[in-house]
Amino acid sequence: MDGTFGFHLPTRVEVGNGRLGETGKLAVALVGSTTSGGRRTSPAAGGSSPRALVVTDAGLIRAGIAPAVEDSLRQAGFVCERFDQVQPNPKDVDCNAGGEIARHFGADLIVAVGGGSVIDEAKAIAVLTTHPGRIGDYEGRGRVPGEVPPIVAVPTTAGTGSEVTRSAVITDTGRRFKMTVKDIKLAPKLAVVDPETTYALPVGLTASTGMDALVHAVEAYTCRAANPVSDAMALAAIARIYPALRRVVRDGHDKEARYDMMVGSLMAGIAFSHSDVGAVHCLAEALGGLYDVPHGVANSMFFPAVTAFNAPAAPERHARVAATCRLPLGGLTPSEAAGLLVEELARLATDIGIPKFGSLPQVRPEDFPFLAESSFRNGSTPDNCRDIAVSDYLRLLKESYQDSR
């Protein structure tokens, strides 16, 4: 860290139980003179109705969460269309299909109601609303040349942090690789963060998405791109998420813990979007691209082994994470504290029911060289706190596999 950094949070964040119903009212301010085609004005200005494309999935429709957001948008004067073709580890083909629908519909606003897959796909759809081609054409950093319609994110997991990030991670189904489209224009203009949307989240998703949030915070804090502001967000996120995670898995209606998970996930998202993630995510995204393993599950499986690999490069930072989790560190050196953290991360994954890498039926050791290459090519590899080569990734894959058979 050389002390140079910038901080730009382009997302208005509104947090609170029951605030889902305010989405329409809050979104009105985003349309009008800034609409994608420049042809509509807000209802308040006497123009024709602005058009909102709601991107969501079947579960959130059944749960009544997406319909509630649509009601609030209609009450605020929007014409709504729904697109629910979203799969876990969102696929490029679905993004391309959604983009076509958004263009035909003439979407002025893209509203994502869902977890990370929904929000990332909605970002890709926003790009394709005002740009030609396919989402793969915009892979990389800063490759979206023009404006996109404003994006509203209503996260329903705690989670992704995608409601405040400028990235969409999309599976390139041809290459079986998770690519990243990263551009400040993809940052949602508004995030409506309502912890009540997570009360009915199934226990498995609660556990895996919660662990993803913890990984975001720890990687944001320990990676090479960390800065003083991302550090503050990351440590505050860890302090909320770590004690709450076992509680929400035990009791999904623990309101206080659900709130802490949601706010912790939000802060972790702010942290890593201004810092980066590291090798845990590089491995998880490689695994997600090839095997379609849920993102949070894939992260959890490599979290202890990567932390053990990384700790010697930044023992004080890892010890600070352990201290923030309030692990019993009396008299331990930073390296010993980091060792205790590694043990606790493995115990936490077991306690909350995350499956082991070696127990996944689709995993084949002959794929490990491909997975190691794929991890190495990830844009976050250079920011991992310890230099990491293809051979290191290969060793981490083999060790994590053998240790959990």
Interaction site with Fe ion (CB under 5 A): 212
Decide whether 70 or 212 has the Cβ nearer to Fe ion. Answer: 212
101 vs 217 by CB, closer to Fe ion: 217
Our CB check for Fe ion shows the closer of 70 and 163 to be 163
Name the minimum Å distance from CB 198 to Fe ion: 16
In the complex, the smallest distance separating the C-beta of residue 51 from Fe ion, rounded to whole angstroms, is 31
**Least CB distance from residue 121 to Fe ion, whole Å?**
15
* 167 phi, psi to nearest 5 deg: -120, 150
For 176, list phi and psi in degrees, rounded to 5: 50, 50
**Whose Cβ is closer to Fe ion: residue 35's or residue 273's?**
273
Nearer Cβ to Fe ion (194/212) = 212
Instruction: With CA atoms as reference, report the closest residue to 94 among 66, 117, 61.
Output: 117
* DSSP element (H, E) containing 395: helix 390-403
Distance of CA 394 to the CA centre of its chain: 25
Angle at 118 between CA 66 and CA 205, to 5 degrees: 90
Instruction: Identify which of residues 227 and 300 has a Cβ nearer to Fe ion in the complex.
Output: 300
The answer to whether the beta carbons of residues 128 and 102 sit under 8 Å apart is yes
Rounded to 10 deg, the angle between the 203-222 and 295-310 helix axes is 30
**Is residue 206 within 8 Å of 154, Cβ to Cβ?**
no
Exposed / middle / buried, residue 366 (Cβ in 10 Å: 0-12, 13-18, 19+) = exposed
Q: Which is nearer to Fe ion, 295 or 318 (CB)?
A: 295
Nearer to Fe ion, 57 or 212 (CB): 212
Nearest to 9 by CA among 165, 115, 126, 155: 165
Query: Which amino acid, residue 314?
Result: A
Shortest spacing between CB 324 and Fe ion, in angstroms: 19
156-266-191-136 Cα dihedral, nearest 10 degrees: -80
Nearest approach, Cβ of residue 343 and Fe ion (Å)? 23
- Give the C-alpha separation, 91 to 85, whole Å: 10
Minimum CB separation of residue 295 from Fe ion in Å reads 6
CB of residue 212 to Fe ion, shortest distance in Å: 4
Closer residue to Fe ion, CB minimum distance, 272 or 393: 272
Cβ-proximal residues to 64 (8 Å cutoff; 6+ apart), any chain: none
Amino acid sitting at position 226? A
State the Rg of the chain over Cα: 20
- CB-based contacts of 317, cutoff 8 Å, min separation 6: 221, 222, 226, 385
Alpha-helix residue ranges (DSSP H) falling in 197-278: 203-222, 228-250, 255-274
Q: Which residue is nearest to Fe ion (CB)?
A: 212
Name which of 129 and 378 has its Cβ closer to Fe ion.
Answer: 378
- The CB-of-209 to Fe ion minimum distance in angstroms stands at 9
Calpha distance 264→256 (Å, rounded): 12
